[in-house]
Structure 1
Amino acid sequence: MDGQDGVERAGVGQGGAEGVRRSEAQRVAEVRLTPVLISDPPLLNVQGVHQPYTPRLVVEVVTADGATGVGETYGDTKYLELARPYADALVGHDIADLNGLFTLVNRIGVEDSRVDESVAVGGLRGVQTADKLRLSVLSAFEVACLDALGKVQGVPVHTLLGGKVRDSVEYSAYLFYRWAEHPGGAGEKDGWGAALDPAGIVEQARRFVREHGFRSFKLKGGVLPPEREVAAIRALAEAFPGHPLRLDPNGGWTPATSLDVAAELADVLEYLEDPAPGTPAMAEVSRGTAVPLATNMCVTTFPEIREAFLTDAVQVVLCDHHYWGGLRNTRELAAICRVFGVGLSMHSNTHLGISLAAMTHVAATVPNLDYACDSHYPWQTEDVITTRHTFHGGHLPVSDAPGLGVHLDREALARLHRRWLDDDGTLRDRDDAAAMRRAPGHADWTTPVLPRW
């Protein structure tokens, strides 16, 4: 499936022609998989620090009549190894048969890839399994099919999802403890300085306000002792009185520590995100505080909803179409949250403009989007679309152009793919702990066992 340019392709004659045959013109004729490495700043989290470059996978679905749709997801090896057989299986599929995408992905097993079905490892997104990996791969293909279908029908993706209920989507400033540069000066320079204390976090927030107009702020915690992160939130509350504030230590605290922090910040926190690891610990925290608890670690699949909602472990779910298997599943999650009176926000990963467009389209269709969405996008200095998204007053306008409303920058895509091809394999799988070990004084760093404090 390798082309001469290194881009992986599946086409007619390679993958069969199964699928619903309602229209020859909108059957998938070719699928292109382009793994890339994009620059990433030295942002700190509970596991370590971001690597100088992070992998993403760009998916292109081309129909028989030449319509091309694009999608994006994680680009680590375990995702790519699932995407390859899925791309083969998709050839001949009708892009309008979105339910059929799940039938196809369920056929992909260990015999088709090197993913170990028994793997269940922890991470910033909670427990990870082969089924969750399949959904993250499927999400990119579903978005690509919706993008292509929108172009064929001349309507935006939000119309295909039922229609928008808002013309713009609000996003929150995503604040990080960070170093000024990667160890040894690796990677690209982004012009930001270090932020390792309350003053640095406040200055970071001020710049986000100046450049993007954000009105709410989320701090990635779990990096420093809890009392220091409490001080940073207090500094933000003083600098931006009345603005919504959030703190996310990624399960880095015990329930006791979580309750102490919740008590200290009860007057300023909009919500506290994943303070303790796992649903039972979150339920324990929830019983002891009135501060809303949010999650993108406890509830990342439909089977995880029941325990979390019935034990009142979380009051806000951060949806993520990469986790849930696409935009339509995200809307189903939103409906369940609405039934149970659970708030809805949106999680972010280190993504490109394709994913941000998809996030904005689905967010525009959800009536109960209760909080501003997360986005790493202002941290990203590279993209694969021709025109970068621009925030106005912390909002992104919802595109009414056919499909997602974005276009691939072929030159940029080729350049970032070349970086992936030239890598010796060190950066093709995200590993924040390995990146941390490259920093002076951290040679013995290992991924912390949670809770950390």
Structure 2
Amino acid sequence: MLRDLRIARVTLTPVLVADPPLLNTQGVHQPYTPRLIVEVITEEGIAGLGETYGDTKYLDLARPFAALLEGHRVDDLNGLFTLADRLAVDAARVDGAVDVGGLRGVQTVGKLRLSVVSAFEVACLDALGKSLGLPVHALLGGTVRDAVEYSAYLFYKPAAHPEGVPAEPDDWGAALDPAGIVAQARTLEERYGFGSFKLKGGVFPPDEEIAAVRALAEAFPGHPLRLDPNGAWSVPTSLKVARELEDVLEYLEDPTLGTAAMAEVAAGTPVPLATNMCVTTFAEIEEAFTRNAVQVVLSDHHYWGGLRHTQQLAAICRAFGVGVSMHSNTHLGISLAAMTHVAATVPDLHHACDSHYPWQSEDVLTERLTFTGGAVRVSDAPGLGVELDRARLAALHRRWADDDGRLRDRDDAAAMRVAEPGWESPRMPRW
């Protein structure tokens, strides 16, 4: 008989984490990015950890949700969504559709709730696993692989944030041309053993990014390559790029915005199209799959509402013959551990997962997760198998508390204006 695993309290800790000046079609990463660390503590004193976005709109939903959880059983995972539905009235005070640009598409209140619930679901699974002496992957049905392969995530970037902007130093150097991208890829290969490479595009005109991918193909012959412009291209431009790179691309990710445009591109190229933008909820699956708009869905347990929804998505993809992998955001080790546990349980994971983690010099864990041969081994320790460094968590929270509000919401366009006054998020498509 299961012990009474009820939640006694919940702790929410927003933090600001150092981030290099990584470029994308909207602008550039700020010197610090907000994340939210969730702890659920059971009546037995067992603490479970979760992590999600830390922007104000997520905090505004996480706080009232946390207040509903006192007395909730950590094994009642379905009940988390029932409780989240009770936030609908309060959430209506948030804009009904939050435009977050070309990086995520349009974000509704419902999608925001899922991103909040995801952190609590992971925290409950972590607490439950610790209580039962079982790893999270065992609670999800067990592993089909002992290690999860990840892809190197390449970014165009200047050498540093603009002069005078408070920021942590990084040793990556500039990467603003094909030679710089290849050098960055070599560094990631040498440090972490990655065997596949994804370039964040939509930054420079398509011919320049084609040249960068071609340079990667020459430097790493036979290695899987990906290009993701976050919807920055028109359908004709997308088809042109696909035609010029069809012999080297593993897939082309979100070259254009929207399911209809993606379907038009898919019909005109043999290059598989991947997405983490036009399929981010179960309601969006039918149109995308029946129109053959995407051939690979990049799941993100934050978007989808947790690890069990990720498994459900993978099963639907399998039924339709659509590939599945995992999208990454600017995450810490708790999220990487959660990704690794669920990825280890998905049978048809034929593409390496994305991860920003090598770019994050800071973490809230006592020990960073490590990549060996481009992969993270799946922990068999109880729960997620990670431990919180409370001193480090407190320091990153102090940074958040001391901020005057400018960095508590990620805004790549605002960060870009520091370097280029007058910059505005481009109208899509850019090219």
Q: The TM-score by the shorter chain falls in which range?
A: over 0.9
CA–CA separation in structure 1 for the residues paired with 2:80 and 2:99 = 24
How far residue 266 of structure 1 moved from its aligned partner, in angstroms, is 0.5
Equivalenced residue count is 430
CA 1:394/1:80 → structure 2, altered by over 3 Å: closer, same or farther?
same
1:193 aligns with 2:169: no
1:408 aligns with 2:388: yes
CA 1:23/1:367 → structure 2, altered by over 3 Å: closer, same or farther?
closer
CA–CA separation in structure 2 for the residues paired with 1:249 and 1:292 = 15
1:372 aligns with 2:352: yes
1:437 aligns with 2:417: yes
1:164 aligns with 2:139: no
Q: Could you report, residue by residue, the CA deviation over 1:38-76 in whole angstroms, capped at 9, with x for unpaired residues? A: 000000000000000000000000000111100000000
How far residue 240 of structure 1 moved from its aligned partner, in angstroms, is 0.3
Contact 1:138 1:325 in 2 (8 A): yes
Matching residue within 416, 425, 439 for 2:405: 425
CA 1:293/1:54 → structure 2, altered by over 3 Å: closer, same or farther?
same
| Structure with higher RCO (Cα < 8 A, 6+ apart) | 2
Structure 1: runs of 5 or more not aligned: 1-21
Contact 2:197 2:225 in 1 (8 A): yes
CA–CA separation in structure 2 for the residues paired with 1:110 and 1:32 = 23
How far residue 370 of structure 1 moved from its aligned partner, in angstroms, is 1.3
User: What are the residue-to-residue correspondences of 1:66-105 with 2, within 5 Å?
Assistant: 66-105=45-84
Letter in 1 for 2:80: L
CA–CA separation in structure 2 for the residues paired with 1:168 and 1:230 = 32
CA–CA separation in structure 2 for the residues paired with 1:149 and 1:121 = 34
Letter in 1 for 2:59: L
Q: Could you report, residue by residue, the CA deviation over 1:147-166 in whole angstroms, capped at 9, with x for unpaired residues? A: 00000100000000000000
CA–CA separation in structure 2 for the residues paired with 1:113 and 1:96 = 29
Contact 2:238 2:256 in 1 (8 A): yes
CA–CA separation in structure 2 for the residues paired with 1:109 and 1:270 = 40
TM-score normalised over the length of structure 1: 0.93
Contact 1:85 1:113 in 2 (8 A): no
Aligned to 2:426: 448
How far residue 121 of structure 1 moved from its aligned partner, in angstroms, is 5.0
Contact 2:25 2:102 in 1 (8 A): no
1:176 aligns with 2:155: yes
Letter in 2 for 1:190: D
How far residue 449 of structure 1 moved from its aligned partner, in angstroms, is 1.1
CA–CA separation in structure 2 for the residues paired with 1:333 and 1:425 = 36
Letter in 2 for 1:403: G
CA–CA separation in structure 2 for the residues paired with 1:260 and 1:300 = 26
Letter in 2 for 1:339: A
CA–CA separation in structure 2 for the residues paired with 1:89 and 1:83 = 10
Aligned to 1:307: 287
CA–CA separation in structure 2 for the residues paired with 1:253 and 1:140 = 33
Aligned-pair Cα RMSD in Å: 1.1
Aligned to 2:220: 240
1:268 aligns with 2:251: no
Matching residue within 211, 214, 221 for 2:201: 221
Aligned to 2:118: 139
CA 1:119/1:197 → structure 2, altered by over 3 Å: closer, same or farther?
closer
User: What are the residue-to-residue correspondences of 1:270-419 with 2, within 5 Å?
Assistant: 270-419=250-399
Contact 1:334 1:344 in 2 (8 A): yes
TM-score normalised over the length of structure 2: 0.98
Contact 1:47 1:433 in 2 (8 A): yes
1:60 aligns with 2:62: no
Matching residue within 230, 234, 239 for 2:210: 230
Contact 1:174 1:218 in 2 (8 A): yes
SS in 2 for 1:25: coil
**Which 4+ residue blocks in structure 1 deviate beyond 3 angstroms?**
22-25, 117-123
Contact 1:122 1:128 in 2 (8 A): no
Q: Could you report, residue by residue, the CA deviation over 1:340-372 in whole angstroms, capped at 9, with x for unpaired residues? A: 000011000000000000000000000011100
Letter in 2 for 1:47: Q
CA–CA separation in structure 1 for the residues paired with 2:385 and 2:94 = 34
How far residue 24 of structure 1 moved from its aligned partner, in angstroms, is 6.7
